């Protein structure tokens, strides 16, 4: 019985050919990796964005365009690679010139920043849907989910939980000011392309946090056949969460909600000084939140072991 995303992927991998001699990594990571030459590789990812699960009617066309591409670029960042080309298939309910111009302004905000070329795609009429495929290349080592080593430090970029908190506060008039402050985390996440590229020579593993730290770190740690101790009080977030999020919702919003699009990665302890320098270079917090261990993923809050029931975002789980 296929009941969730994991079951669906397992079915696909069991029934469709997913490998060939030049495929270095197929289904199961942030990107597929195809060998071009002995030292060069294409890293490729694709995502579909829909009205409802990915953006809502209060998003501007600019924000929709920006976010649809940013979430794809985050996958390239997680591989430590550089985005070069995109394909886009867009389905539109009608041809609204002003909407289309603003949408592509949002796309252009990122293609201009990272020197990315749109080289093809498809257009259709129907309910709004945007599918983007990004092709990137490696400059240094490619990062995978399954490379974590015992005793590695676990880091996360930026702040997490803010996008989910914005969603939680969205329709609460009492917290309209707080929502306005957190809204950009949800509507316009910043893909960590440059940090991903800079950590690619020193990190052992990496994943982008799209479904929540709880689920994505679990995927990284499980793929690496390791465990982890994670310290919740060290996880970086906005101080607003501590003020307005009810205690019984706090953990789920902080690490179970998703849409952060930050990088979670593991690095040998000898590179702590290098990580601090990269944090200053990019003017982005890079916070150590735990350590890779031999087995089991454990969460601690002020030294107390905490157990959770939530598992992170899944399109097919209510």
Residue 228's domain comprises 145-304
In a domain, 158, yes or no: yes
State residue 28's pLDDT score: 79
- Domain containing residue 222: CATH number: 3.90.650.10
Tokens matching residue 19 = 């490998």
Q: Which residues contact 35 (CB under 8 A, 6 or more apart)?
A: 22, 23, 24, 41
Residue 216 lies in a domain: yes
CA distances (Å), origin 43, targets 34, 98, 218, 219, 281: 7, 34, 23, 19, 26
Please state, in angstroms and rounded to a whole number, the distance separating the CA atoms of residues 41 and 43. 6
Query: Do residue 152 and residue 101 come from a single domain?
Result: no
157 and 288 assigned to the same domain: yes
User: Could you say which of 123, 138, 153 is where a domain stops?
Assistant: 138
Same domain, 48 and 134: yes
Does 166 share its domain with 247? yes
More confident residue, 315 or 203: 203
315 is written with which tokens?
Answer: 């399109």
Boundary residue ending a domain (138, 169, 201): 138
| Region 208-213 average pLDDT | 94
Whether residues 47 and 174 share a domain: the answer is no
Alpha helices in the chain (DSSP H): 5-15, 61-78, 97-114, 162-169, 176-187, 193-199, 213-223, 239-244, 247-255, 272-282
163 and 248, same structural domain? yes
What tens digit of pLDDT does each residue of 74-95 get? Answer: 999 999 999 999 999 999 999 9
71/181 same-domain check? no
For residue 309, being part of any structural domain is answered with no
Model confidence at 311, pLDDT cuts 50, 70, 90, reads low
Question: Do both 98 and 156 map to the same domain?
Answer: no
Q: How many CB atoms lie within 10 A of CB 107?
A: 23
What's the whole-number average pLDDT of the chain?
94
pLDDT category at 317 given cuts 50, 70, 90 is: low
Check: CB of residue 209 under 8 Å from CB of residue 274: no
**Domains: count for the chain:** 2
Tens digits of residue pLDDT in 238-250 = 999 999 999 889 9
131 and 190 within one domain:
no
- Which pLDDT score is estimated for 314? 57
Looking at the domain assignment, is residue 298 inside a domain? yes
Q: What is the mean pLDDT of residues 203-214?
A: 96
What is the DSSP code (8-state) at residue 80? T
Considering only 20-34, 74-88, 209-223, which range has the smallest mean pLDDT? 20-34
Per residue in 167-188, pLDDT tens? 999 989 899 999 999 999 999 9
Could you tell me if 151 and 293 lie in one domain?
A: yes
In terms of pTM, does the model score above 0.85?
yes
Q: Do residues 169 and 282 both lie within one domain?
A: yes
DSSP string, 24-68: EE-BTBSSEEEESSSS-EEEEEEEEEEBTTTB-TTS-HHHHHHHH
Displacement of CA 263 from its chain's centroid (Å): 7
pLDDT band at 61 (very low <50, low <70, confident <90, very high): very high
Q: What is the pLDDT of residue 2?
A: 86
Q: What is the pLDDT of residues 139-151, one digit of tens each?
A: 989 999 999 999 9
- Burial grade of 299 (CB within 10 A; 0-12, 13-18, 19 or more): buried
User: Which of 138, 155, 187 corresponds to the end of one domain?
Assistant: 138
Tokens read off for 139 = 């400059």
């Amino acid at each position: 019985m296929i009941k969730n995303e994991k079951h669906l992927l397992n079915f696909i991998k069991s029934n469709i050919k997913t490998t060939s001699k030049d495929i270095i990594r197929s289904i199961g990571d942030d990107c597929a990796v195809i060998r071009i030459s002995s030292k060069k590789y294409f890293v490729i990812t694709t995502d579909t964005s829909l009205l409802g699960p990915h953006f809502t009617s209060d998003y501007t066309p600019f924000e929709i365009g920006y976010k649809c591409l940013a979430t794809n670029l985050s996958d390239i960042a997680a591989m430590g690679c550089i985005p070069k080309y995109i394909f886009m298939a867009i389905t539109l309910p009608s041809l609204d010139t002003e909407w289309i111009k603003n949408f592509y302004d949002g796309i252009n905000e990122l293609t201009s920043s990272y020197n990315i070329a749109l080289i093809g795609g498809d257009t259709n009429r129907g309910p709004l849907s945007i599918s983007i495929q990004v092709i990137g290349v490696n400059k240094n080592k490619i990062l995978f989910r399954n490379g974590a080593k015992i005793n590695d430090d676990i880091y996360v970029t930026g702040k997490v939980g803010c996008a989910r908190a914005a969603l939680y506060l969205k329709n609460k008039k009492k917290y309209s000011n707080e929502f306005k402050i957190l809204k950009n985390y949800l509507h316009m996440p910043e893909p960590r392309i440059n940090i991903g590229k800079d950590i690619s020579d020193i990190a052992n593993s990496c994943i982008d946090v799209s479904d929540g730290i709880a689920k994505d770190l679990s995927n990284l740690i499980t793929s690496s056949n390791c465990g982890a101790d994670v310290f919740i009080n060290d996880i970086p977030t906005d101080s607003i969460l501590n003020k307005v999020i009810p205690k019984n919702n706090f953990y789920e919003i902080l690490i179970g909600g998703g849409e952060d699009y930050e990088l979670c990665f593991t690095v040998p302890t000898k590179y702590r000084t290098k990580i601090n320098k990269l944090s200053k270079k990019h003017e982005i917090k890079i916070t150590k939140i735990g350590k890779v261990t031999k087995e089991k993923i454990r969460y601690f809050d002020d030294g107390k072991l905490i157990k959770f029931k939530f598992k992170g975002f899944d399109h097919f789980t209510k």
